[in-house]
Amino acid sequence: MPSKSIKAIDFFCSIGGMTKGFRSAGVNVVAGIDIDPSCRETYEWNNPTSKFIEADIKKLSFRRLKKIADIKANDDKLVFIGCSPCQYWTIINTDKRKSKSSRNLLSDFQRFVVHFKPGFVVVENVPGIMKRKRASGLSSFIKSLTTMNYAVSYGVLNANHFGVPQNRRRFVLIASRIVMVTLPKGDPSKGPTTRDFIGTWNGFAKISAGHRDTTNFIHTTCHLSENNLKRIRLTKTNGGTREAWKKNESLQIKAYDKKDDSFKNVYGRMHWDKPAPTITTRFNSLSNGRFGHPVEDRALSLREGATLQTFPRNYAFKEKSINKIARFIGNAVPPKMAGKIGRSIKFALNK
C-alpha cells in the first residue's frame, strides 16, 4: 500500500497513468481530477484508494477540492501533479483547432498551486511547450514558482532511459519550496526494446488483423482493408517500410508518391531490438505511424500498446470503444516513468 506520509493530487488524471506510477513509488494519491466522466470507471477500478473527482478545473473551487480530498494549504508533504492535455503544443504537425480550448490549462493549474502552495509540484507535457514558453504559459508558471521560493528543475527526458520501451521525449518539471530538487537521472545504456515487452514469449498470442478479445486483456486489433493487408504483407518484417511497395501502382499512395522522406514511418513495422516509437492516440492504426507489428500482418493490439506504455498486464480498461481506449492509452503518462518521478520526490524529502 502507498505510504500515507506523502499525499498527491493528480490533476488531469485521465485513466490514471501518473497515479499508478506514483502509487507504485509509495505516494498516497488521494484524488485524481478530470473533466471526462468516461475516465472514472477505469481510474477507480485500478486505483481503488484514490478518489475520482469529475470537474472542470476552470470552475472547481478551492473549498470543494479541500473538502473532497481532505487537503490543506502549505502542506510540506503534499504534491500537485499537472499533466494537462498537450495536443495544442505538440511539435507534430496536426490540426490544432480541436485542442485550442485546452491550451491554457497550465495557467488554470497554476491557480491551485498559488492558493495551496504544496510542498512539491510536478508538470509533465510535450517538449513543444518549451519552444513557446510565453504563449503556453510556461514562463509565467515558472516565474510564479520562483516568486513563491520554489526551487525549480525542468527539462526534456526520454522515457526510454527510465525503463519504458519506446522513444518518448517529454517535458518534465519538478519544483519544491522545502528542499532542492533535481530531475531523475535515466540510463540511456539500459533502455528496453520492443522485444523486452511484447511477442509470443511475453504472453502475446499470435493474432490477425480485426481480432477481438473480449477479456480484460484486450489483445484486440483493428481491421485492415484488403489493400492495407497487401501492403503490410509486402513490408519487410522487423523494421520494414512502405518502400517495399512504392512501385506497385495499385498500392502506392498518391500523397507519398516520390516523397519517400515524407512521414517516413507511416505503414512501417516496428523493430524487435529497438525501442518502439512514441505510442500515440492512434497506435492501433497502421497508417498513423510505425505501428505495424514486427512480424505479424497487423497493427499493434490495444494491450500491446498499453504494455509498451508500461501499464501492468492486469490494468483493466473499462471502455467499449476501441478507439477511445487507444486514445486513453496514448495520452497517458507511462506509469514506469511516473514512478521514477515519484521516487525522486521521496528521495529528496528523505535526504
Pairing mode, if any, of strands 169-176 and 78-82? Answer: unpaired
Three-state SS string across 5-66, please? EEEEEEECCCCCHHHHHHHHCCEEEEEEEECCHHHHHHHHHHCCCCEEEECCCCCCCHHHHH
Cα–Cα distance measured from residue 309 to residue 119, given in angstroms and rounded to the nearest whole number = 29
- Cα 146 to Cα 150, 151, 153, 344: the distances in Å are 5, 7, 11, 20
Q: For residue 19, which of 61, 58, 60, 69 has the smallest C-alpha distance?
A: 69
Here the cell at position 164 is: 519504458
Amino acid at 345: I
Per the CB < 8 A criterion, the answer to whether 136 and 129 are in contact is yes
Burial class (CB in 10 A: 0-12, 13-18, 19+), 121: buried
What is the spatial distance between Cα 222 and Cα 162, in angstroms, rounded to a whole number? 30
Cα distance between residue 199 and residue 171, in whole Å: 30
Q: How far apart are CA 294 and CA 10, in angstroms?
A: 35
SS3 (DSSP) at 175: strand
Marked catalytic residue, from 39, 83, 86, 222? 86
With vertex at residue 71, the alpha carbon angle to CA 183 and CA 151, rounded to the nearest 5 degrees, is 25
86 is an active site residue: yes
**Nearest CA among 307, 33, 320, 37 for reference residue 195:** 307
> Following DSSP, what letter does each residue of 252-297 receive, concatenated?
--GGGTT-TTTTTTTTPBPPTTSPBPP--TTTT-GGGSS-B-SSSS
Pairwise CA distance, residues 119 & 293, whole Å: 44
Looking at the annotation, which residues are catalytic?
A: 86
